[in-house]
Amino acid sequence: MDINDKKLLDILTSYTKNIYILENTIILEYDNITISLEIDNQLTKNINEYQNISISLLKKIKTIEAISINILMGQEYYNKVLNIAQFYYEFFNKFIYIEIHYDECSHQYYKINLPKKQLINENFTKQLIKKDFTEDKELLNYLPFFPLNNLILDIPRSITTQTKVRRFGYLSIILEMFNDSRYYPSNIFNKKIEQRALQYNKLLQDYIDDKGLINISKTGNSAKPYIDLLISLKLLYYQNHTYQLSKYGKTYTILFSKLDLNSEEGNKFALNIFQKSFYLWFLLQNDMLYLFALLEIIYIQNNDTTAGEIKNGFQEYILESLEFTIKYSKLSTKSKNEINKIITRIKRWGKPEVYLEHIVDPRINWLLDLGLLNKEKYLLKRISLSKSGLKLLSCFGYFFDQSEEKFTISRELRCHNFFNIINIIYDINAKEIQKSNLILVEKYIDESFSLFKTIAPNRVTASQAVLYTCYMMLFKENIIVNFCTIKQYLSSKNNQKFIFDWYKTENDGSIRRKNDL
């Protein structure tokens, strides 16, 4: 055995509780973690199951080939992985990456590969094997969620952004302009926004800082990135040289006026709880990859980092995350080919620092607007997740534990659990829906027929009616009901009031009232 391996083995065995062996794998058990060593020679006769051995036998090891931490899925949590990653980052300023493994007894576990040269750092390794990574951390361990099964998966989505789109408050200002006019011709829309924004400039400065300010420009360029973002988030729609609210944008404006919740601090840019949760829905829908990755990176970087440090590791982290998805997700091969294309594109970023300015900087402000970052720290130029941010990260981690899907289950989350997530992260304290509450659901769907009236007779777009109902139930009735719960009710025999059609291709449907009622 070479001198480094010997030294390493000395450190590793100094606190171990139990040692097991099976073929070329040695398992070292500690109080809180399990480390596995791959060696190149066999120490015992052929056996079929793990066998307890004594430390002395380890002297026969020739070379330690690989070292990893194993975390049993289903019993321990992804949070633990994040905490180990954070600990590792603190020492080495590097990310660690995980794999998912099955052992002979079909236990499934997260496998964190650790480079040997780092483990020789005695200080690190000693702390690693003694530390309890589940204790004393801000991530939540228990979450009362609807279990996910028969998952419909999406490829990890992200939207293209320009560094200027920093403030969700402007999105609200633009969407509310459609209360004055049903549509805006494209040649005047930019200027109209700039004029409208002018009256809010002072408010923006009072908010936190004036990043992302829309100013009067000759060309209308100042408003353009925000219009593009609204289009990417599918809140605006462009056709026939005019801008119009999309079906979701319409839902926003109606909910906004119906709920009439005050913005915090009376400032347009400090979003109210409805606005936060509404935009979060659309970020999950369209930008899950960057959103989830950013939360993780901030957390791993000791939950106290800077925009610069995030950007340093971002490209690598995204690439690894996408590779991970290709390797372990149950996505179709066709979708995985799509991911490969994304990987190729990201690898080709000529100047990552330029790209990342457009990706990371806006999203940091979005997280701040959504209340997911700690505002006090932000003012000191430090990026740190707020309690809400940590809770959201825990939710994502929880679903990863449950489904082994990371960036791909946004649709399922929105459908089955979104309003629970909102309830948890923003401390709303709402109750789960009971059967007796269905009458309220019917009432809000009924209302949506007049609120979302279109040229089609007796018909409302399902996503509008259902989202409207979900948000009204949460914010008016203090009751959690998810999109899919309502969808299921509409398709069930319990529904006597409405005719419900659902179209898979559009992932939407229509609701009509029954005539004879």
Partner 1 sequence: MMVQLGEKMTYETLRLTENPFRLTPPLDQKEIFWAGMHEVKDNIEKRIKIAMRTQPSRIVLNWGSYGSGKTHASLYFSKTNRLEEISADLGASPAKSIKITLPRSSNNIVQEFLRSFLGQYSLEEIYADFKRLEEEFNTEKLIEMIDAFSNDNSIADAFKKFIKLDLENSDEFNKFKNYIYGDNTKSTLTYLGLPLGLTNDEQIANFLATIINCITYEKKLYSTFLIWLDEFEDIDTVKKSLADRFTTFLRQFIDKTPNNLILFLNFTQKAFMDIEDLSIYLGEALTSRAKAKIDFQNPTIEEAIEYVQELCKHYQKGSSTNPFDTDATIKYALEHIGNLTARKINETFSIIFEMALLEGKEQITQEFIDNIKDEIIAWEE
Q: Which spans of this chain sit near partner 1 (rule: CB under 8 A)?
A: 183, 234, 237, 239-242, 244, 246-248, 250, 452, 454-459, 461-464, 499-501, 503, 506-510, 512, 515-516
Among residues 111, 130, 127, which one has the least CA distance to residue 71?
111
Nearer to partner 1, 15 or 503 (CB): 503
Asked if residue 399 lies in contact with residue 409, where contact means CB atoms within 8 angstroms, the answer is yes
Q: Which residue, 388 or 463, is less far from partner 1 as judged by CB?
A: 463
Instruction: Please say which residue, 230 or 395, places its beta carbon nearer to partner 1.
Output: 230
CB 290 within 8 A of CB 310: no
Q: How far is the CB of 52 from partner 1 (least distance, A)?
A: 56
**Beta carbon of residue 508, minimum distance to partner 1 (angstroms, whole number):** 3
Which residues lie below 8 Å from residue 405, measured CB to CB, with a gap of 6+?
151, 153, 329, 330, 399
The distance in angstroms from the start CA to the end CA of the chain is: 84
256 vs 452 by CB, closer to partner 1? 452
Of 465 and 472, CB closest to partner 1: 465
Q: Phi/psi of residue 272, each to 5°?
A: -85, 175
Kindly tell me the burial class for residue 332, based on how many C-beta atoms sit within 10 Å of its own C-beta (0-12, 13-18, 19 or more).
Answer: exposed
Please, which residue, 68 or 461, has the CB nearer to partner 1? 461
Report the candidate in 363, 368, 404 with the shortest Cα–Cα distance to residue 384: 368
Minimum CB separation from partner 1 for residue 236, in Å?
9
For partner 1, the closer of residues 192 and 268 by Cβ is: 192
Look-up of token digits 């899919």: 484
Q: What angle do CA 113, 359, 85 make, to 5 degrees?
A: 20
Residues 109/62, Cβ–Cβ less than 8 Å:
no
Looking at this protein, which amino acid is placed at residue 215?
N
Least distance (Å) between residue 282 CB and partner 1: 12
| Nearest distance, CB of residue 87 and partner 1, angstroms | 45
Q: How far is the CB of 237 from partner 1 (least distance, A)?
A: 5
**Least Å from the CB of residue 46 to partner 1:** 53
Angle at 469 between CA 480 and CA 274, to 5 degrees: 70
Q: How far is the CB of 507 from partner 1 (least distance, A)?
A: 8
Q: How many CB atoms are located within 10 Å of the residue 42 CB?
A: 11
Measured from the CB atom, the residue of 59 and 241 that comes closer to partner 1 is 241
| Torsion 204-205-211-216 (CA) sign | positive
Q: Which of 437, 422, 138, 448 is nearest to 298 (CA)?
A: 138
Residue 233: both structure tokens together: 């988030």
